[in-house]
A and B are shown apart, each in its own frame.
Chain A
Amino acid sequence: MVTTPIQFTLNGVTKSLMCEASASLLDVLRNDLGDTTPKYGCGQGTCGACTVLIDGQPILSCIFLAGRVDARSVETLAGVHDGPNLHPLQVAFMEHFAAQCGFCTPGMILAAKALLEKNAYPNREEVIDAISGNICRCTGYEPIVDAIMSVAERRGSPGDRG
């Protein structure tokens, strides 16, 4: 097995390790670093269950070469909470019953987080587009969209800031 050294920030913590040169980031996160929040759904970049944020951008970790994450910042669901406090998106998902089996949830929350950090006041269409790469077999998507919209709505509208 050919290995390569990588060093990157995972949820704010620097990680240094040797990994298989052709390993996917998903493999490294789950198997080498023990972060099982991103899920292996398809291995094809189709379902979105493996979504993580790299430098704030949603990326499909199952088709992302681990070596390319060197010197970059990776966020997974394991890092979105603030100590004992859940992230507003996690609270909203609970309140709106936006998770049933929970398999798509890590990817959905990270896709939503990336959207809200770029666009604090998305409309419903923008939310739907933001999660369009994440498949859910359980909820029918509406509770998920409602949950994300509720986080945006709680922030008020751009006019409220005036």
Chain B
Amino acid sequence: MSVLVRTCDSVREAAQLLIREKGARLLAGGTLLMRALNEGDQKISSLVIANDPFLTDIRQLGSRVQIGACATMSAILSNRDLSFLHSAAQAIGGPAVRNMATVGGNLYAPRPYGDFATALLALDATVSIQSGYSAREMTLEQFIASSERQAGAFVTSVQLSRPAAPEAFRFSKISRVKPKGISVLSIAIHAGERLGRLSNVRVAYGAMAESTMRAKAVERTLEGRVLDDAAIAAAKAVACEGCSPRTDAIATDWYRREILPIHLGRTLAELRIKKAS
């Protein structure tokens, strides 16, 4: 079956094309979609390319940042104002993948991929979604849980606030092959401080559930505490709550559960060092 390619100049036009045809897919970087085509995915009948500049735009909105869904990881890395996202963007594939992979595409990446989404989740990102004629915003957490991830609607941009301070955010990717390798798991932590105690703690995991997830038990455990050895130990004790890792070619579910507390502890210890320095 021939796959059609349709190019348009605006987000709205792309949205119309996607809603009209069940097998239409928005082509961003192509790291997921072209791979599916190469593997003979019969569900794809057409590719829609949207050349709307809004989709690659990165802009500062005061203390918040808006990143177009088709901005690549390389674009993130070359933007000094987004240095807090560099560790997450650098963790995505190798240089060629980073030249292609997009912020929006990473939100749809199946586990164990989607490491950048893990970082965004810990930073309380929101997404703008276009579906047909309508556009709306929702939190990334809502988006991940919703049917909006299905074909027909697509993310046009991501918005997030900068971390309270550079030392308030930490991202770790655990992989067998370095520097580039598919995640065994990834961890992102964003925690402010008030009077020496952690506040607004957000902890997100990648590859530990069907989609990137918040570790709410860990967040509750750390909220309002001093980040000391006892707090880290308490966090490690509840690290796996809510997790449903899977066995795949990279690691077994057992292995992921075994190492998660260890790497959570290390990431928290690194965060403590950053805050102290």
Query: Which residues on A are within 8 Å of B, measured CB to CB?
Result: 1-2, 4, 20-22, 24, 43-45, 48, 51, 57-60, 62-65, 67-68, 111, 114-115, 128-134
Question: Chain B contact residues: over half helix, strand or loop, or mixed?
Answer: mixed
9 pairs from A and B in contact (CB 8 Å cutoff):
A2-B2, A43-B39, A45-B93, A45-B97, A64-B30, A129-B179, A131-B94, A132-B179, A132-B180
Q: Which of chain B's residues 11-61 have a Cβ closer than 8 Å to chain A?
A: 27, 30-31, 34-35, 37-39, 47, 49
Mark contacts of B160-175 with chain A using CB atoms, 8 A cut-off: 1 yes-contact digit, 0 otherwise.
Answer: 0000000000000000
Nearest A-chain residue to B44, judged by Cβ: A22
> Of A1, A48, A64, A114, which one neighbours B100 at CB under 8 angstroms?
A64
> Of B4, B35, B96, which one neighbours A58 at CB under 8 angstroms?
B96
Question: Are the C-beta atoms of B97 and A60 separated by less than 8 Å?
Answer: yes
Question: Are the C-beta atoms of A133 and B93 separated by less than 8 Å?
Answer: yes
Question: Given the complex of chains A and B, what is the CA–CA distance between A17 and B93 in angstroms?
Answer: 32
Question: Given the complex of chains A and B, what is the CA–CA distance between A4 and B4 in angstroms?
Answer: 10
11 extra A-B contacts, CB within 8 A, seeds A129-B95, A129-B179, A133-B93: A2-B2, A2-B5, A22-B4, A24-B34, A43-B35, A45-B97, A59-B96, A60-B97, A62-B34, A65-B30, A65-B34
Query: Which residues on B are within 8 Å of A, measured CB to CB?
Result: 2-5, 7, 27, 30-31, 34-35, 37-39, 47, 49, 74, 93-97, 99-100, 179-180
Residues from chain B with Cβ under 8 Å of A44 in the complex:
35, 38-39
Question: Are the C-beta atoms of A132 and B5 separated by less than 8 Å?
Answer: no
Question: Are the C-beta atoms of A130 and B35 separated by less than 8 Å?
Answer: no
Minimum Cβ distance to chain B for residue A76 (Å): 14
Question: Given the complex of chains A and B, what is the CA–CA distance between A24 and B35 in angstroms?
Answer: 10
Question: Given the complex of chains A and B, what is the CA–CA distance between A67 and B6 in angstroms?
Answer: 11
| Known A-B contacts A111-B96, A130-B95, A133-B95; A65 and B39 likewise in contact (beta carbons under 8 Å) | no
Question: Are the C-beta atoms of A133 and B97 separated by less than 8 Å?
Answer: yes
Residues from chain B with Cβ under 8 Å of A24 in the complex:
34, 38
Minimum Cβ distance to chain A for residue B103 (Å): 17
Question: Given the complex of chains A and B, what is the CA–CA distance between A45 and B100 in angstroms?
Answer: 10
Minimum Cβ distance to chain B for residue A57 (Å): 5
Question: Are the C-beta atoms of A57 and B99 separated by less than 8 Å?
Answer: yes
Question: Are the C-beta atoms of A51 and B96 separated by less than 8 Å?
Answer: yes
Residues from chain A with Cβ under 8 Å of B30 in the complex:
63-65
Nearest B-chain residue to A66, judged by Cβ: B5
Minimum Cβ distance to chain A for residue B95 (Å): 5
